[in-house]
Homo-oligomer: A and B are copies of this chain.
Amino acid sequence: MVSGETRKADDASVALAVSTVIFALRRDEASGLATVWLPLVRRIREPFDGLWALPGGPLGAAEDLATAAGRTLGETTGLIPGYLEQLYAFGNADRSPGPRVVSIVYWALVQSEEAERASVGENVQWFPADDLPALAFDHNLIVDYALWRLRNKMEYSRIAHAFLGETFTLTQLREVHEAVRGRPLDPANFRRFIEGSDAVVATDQRVTGTRHRPPRLYRYNTSIDLADQGPLSRLNERREP
C-alpha cells in the first residue's frame, strides 16, 4: 500500500550503468553509398573480456541520466553527439553473468566530420551497424533495437540533420534518409515533402564548383525544435505497427 520510491532495493548489489548507442554515416568509397556505423569499445576485464561493447559507465552521484550518457560517451570515445535520447532500460536478471546490472541505454547521432575527429585506437573502433560481431552482454539486441528506432524515427521526425553540418543541400539530406532507410528516394518527391513540412529553411547561398547546376543550401528550422527529447516534449515520437 506504499509507494516504494524511497525504499532501497532489497539486494544492494544491483548496479546501475548508462550506455549509449551512437550512430554516424560513412560513405563507402567503392559504391559511393552511405551506411550506418557505430563505435564500440573493447572490454578489458571479465565478463566478456576482449569482446566489443557499447560505450558507457556508472551513473555519477549527482548526475542526470542523459548527462551521464553524454559524459561516459565522451570519456570513452571523445564524441559529442548532436542528438541524444533515451532508448530503453535493460534489466533482465540474466542479462549479465555475475552481479546484477541494470543498463539505462541512450541512443545518439553524430555528424560525420565530428565522427572522423574522434579518437579511434586499438580499443575503440567503428563497425557497420547491420553487420556486427558477437558483442558483450545483450548488446547485439540493444543495437538492433536502436537501429530500428533510428529507422522508424527517420520516417516521421526531423532528426536527419543531426548527421549533417549547419547547412546542407537537399540532396545531402536525401542521402541521409536513403542511407538510413536503405532504399533510394525520388529526388523530386523528397524535395516536395521536405519543403512542405517547414522542417527546413532556405538560405540564399548556393554551392558552387559542382559539375552541374549549383544547389541551394538549407538550414534547419530551429524555431520548431525547442526541446526534442523524452517526456518533456511531445515532438519526438510517433508510430509503430
- The chain A residues found within 8 Å of chain B, CB to CB, are 1-19, 41-47, 53-65, 72, 76, 86, 88-93, 96, 98-104, 123-124, 136-137, 141-142, 144-145, 148-149, 152, 155-157, 230-232, 234-241
Contact = CB atoms under 8 A, between A and B. Distances in A.
Given A59-B102, A102-B59, A96 B6 contact: yes
Copies of the chain in the assembly: 2
Contacts of A58: 4, 7-10
Given A240-B156, A240-B236, A59 B2 contact: no
29 contacts: A2-B76, A3-B19, A3-B56, A4-B72, A5-B53, A5-B137, A6-B45, A6-B99, A6-B101, A7-B15, A7-B17, A11-B60, A13-B61, A14-B16, A59-B91, A62-B93, A65-B102, A89-B89, A141-B231, A142-B231, A145-B230, A145-B231, A148-B234, A149-B237, A155-B239, A234-B240, A236-B240, A236-B241, A237-B237
Contacts of A156: 238-241
A89 B30 CA distance: 42
A41 B231 CA distance: 22
A98 to B, nearest CB: 7
A58 B91 CA distance: 13
A44 to B, nearest CB: 6
Given A3-B41, A4-B17, A88-B230, 7 more contacts: A2-B43, A3-B136, A6-B96, A62-B100, A148-B234, A156-B238, A156-B239
A7 to B, nearest CB: 5
Contact of A9 (B47, B61, B90): B61
B235 A241 contact: yes
A71 to B, nearest CB: 11
B230 A14 contact: no
Contacts of A19: 3-5
Contacts of A141: 231-232
